[in-house]
Amino acid sequence: MIGDGSGPVARVVWSIVYTATAVFDLLLPGDSRSLKDKRGYLRPIIATLRKLEVAVAEVGIPDLHGRAEIGVAAVAGDAGHARGVIDAAERLVAARPEVELLSVRRRLHGDED
């Protein structure tokens, strides 16, 4: 509680915020030899991920042909919800037949981080 005794006492309530992140390492088809081809594969994946209301971007080395990394972040007031959104994002990426999901790096950040 905050106050100096001369007036009403204010109560401070702190909210806990969780941020879940994931980086998806993707192998693109052999015909993705140009950046234009690469963007053609990534654009629909990124658009689908945005429907989950997450922040999403191509990360890593953008001019590396045949491979791509997509970063996703979700913010929530509950750790389970943040993890669930990232789980859904991983399922969406893994289900895409045009790319191969090679690995996923995940992190959950809370107030203690």
- Structural domain spans, the chain: 18-109
Contact 15, 106 (CB under 8 A): no
Using 50, 70 and 90 to split pLDDT, how confident is the model at 13? Answer: low
CATH for 18-109 (3.30.43.10, 3.40.50.2300, 3.30.70.1120, 3.40.50.300): 3.30.70.1120
Using 50, 70 and 90 to split pLDDT, how confident is the model at 43? Answer: very high
Cα separation, 19 vs 108, in Å, equals 6
Contact 85, 54 (CB under 8 A): yes
